[in-house]
Amino acid sequence: MQFDRFGCGIDIIPVARPQVVEALGTKVLVAKPWHKSVHPLTAFSVGQLCDRRRTADMLNFGDAFVVHSRNKCADAFLSSPLEWMLMVDDDMVIPFGDAKWYRNATGFPFSEPFIGFNALDRLLSSKKTVVGALYSGRYPKSNLMYNEAGCNPEENAFARRGPHDIVKPTKWVATGCLLIHRQVFLDIEKRFPKLARGGDGKGGQFFTSTEASLVDRVQMIRDNLLKGPMTGEKAYKALEGIESALSESRADNTLGFGEDVSFCLRAASAGHQPHVDLGLVCGHIGHAIYGLHNTGFK
């Protein structure tokens, strides 16, 4: 602890060294993989969402590559005893239970109870191991940020008529306001050992775009071919294995996708179905605060 010129205690968290500031009895880590500039509405809403009686808090900032920050947040989370991690980005406006403030801040025309939700209470109540809030991109023509809304016009139209009191499975949901159970990360490490943390508990690649699953299968096939003499049966099994690996890669390859897609595909492969909450709507800050009512225009 250091002290300022008024004699008040201050905690200094250095750049790029994620630390968990934990309170007794907490179970949720509010993780902030922020860059440098944070909108005041984001800072205020996230601050109001935090409750030291049940939440811990961490900040990783100064890294221009958000994937690095997300992975460092996950490493720090897994080094703690906490059960859940709520990841919040630096351009989100998060509902925290004050309907009047949220309506004034965002201009969203929703009625109760949706305008007055507390994001943490709402996401925890779903009892899903991976569940994210609903929000749009941050420009007028942007899509809603979950898989089916982006590729199905009927789904997109339905979600925009919301909010709806529905939590539904999805192929991927964006990471701007995402609740994740710790078991998700542990099961991803088991399913994809090359993405796991090192012996020091650091270096996890949970959000990184990679072909790790294909590399694992190719190495396994190579090792089998190197054992004993080559036979026609062994070569045929190797060919079958390569075809199977390529098929899986086409389904699960995350190269070229955003880190939200990469993470959700891995979570599903590890046994955790991602979900999107169509009733919890967050604002996304660009030149305005974008949401259901002011995006999607052609």
The tokens describing 78, both together, are: 């897994």
Q: 246 and 266 share a domain?
A: no
Domain count, the chain: 2
**205 lies in a domain?**
no
Q: Are residues 55 and 154 in the same domain?
A: yes
**23 shares a domain with 85:** yes
Residues 167 and 225 in one domain: no
Can you give the pLDDT at residue 257?
60
Flag whether 220 is in a domain: yes
Q: What is the pLDDT of residue 7?
A: 37
Q: What is the pLDDT of residue 222?
A: 67
Residues 29 and 88 placed together within one structural domain of the fold: yes
Judge if 147 and 237 occupy the same domain: no
Residue 201 lies in a domain: no
Residue 286 to residue 296: CA distance in whole angstroms:
14
SS (H, E, C) the chain: CEECCCCCEECCCCCCCCCEECCCCCCEEEEEECCCCCCHHHHHHHHHHCCCCCEEEEEECCCCCHHHHHHHHHHHHHCCCCCEEEEECCCEECCECCHHHHHHHHCCCCCCCHHHCEHHHHHHHCCCCEEEEECECCCCCCCECEHHHHHCHHHHHHHHCCCCCCEEECCCECCCEEEEEHHHHHHHHHHCHHHCCCCCCCCCCCCCCCCHHHHHHHHHHHHHHHCCCCCHHHHHHHHHHHHHHHHHHHHHCCCCCCHHHHHHHHHHHCCCCEEEEEEEECEEECCCEECCCCCCCC
Same-domain pairing of 224 and 76: no
| pLDDT score of 36 | 76
Nearest to 168 by CA among 131, 125, 129, 209: 131
Model pTM? 0.80
pLDDT in tens, the chain (298 residues): 343 333 333 333 333 445 555 544 558 999 999 987 899 999 999 999 998 788 999 998 877 778 999 999 999 999 999 999 999 999 999 999 999 999 999 999 999 999 999 999 999 999 999 999 999 998 888 899 999 998 899 999 999 999 999 999 999 999 999 999 999 999 999 998 989 999 999 999 999 886 555 566 666 666 676 777 777 776 767 667 666 656 665 555 544 467 899 999 999 999 999 999 999 999 999 888 889 888 886 5
126 with 220, same domain?
no
The answer to whether residue 207 is domain-embedded is no
Residue 149 covered by a domain: yes
Q: Tell whether 131 and 269 lie within a shared domain.
A: yes
pLDDT in the model for residue 1: 38
| Beta-carbon count within 10 A of 73 CB | 24
Co-location of 83 and 227 in the same domain: no
**104 and 171, same domain (yes or no):** yes
CATH number at residue 285: 3.90.550.10
Q: Tell me the residue range of the domain where 230 lies.
A: 212-252
Is residue 101 domain-shared with residue 154, that is, in the same domain?
yes
* Length of the chain measured in residues: 298
CB atoms within 10 A of CB 200: 8
In a domain, 3, yes or no: no
At 11 the pLDDT is 37
In a domain? residue 179 = yes
Query: Does residue 132 lie within any of the structural domains?
Result: yes
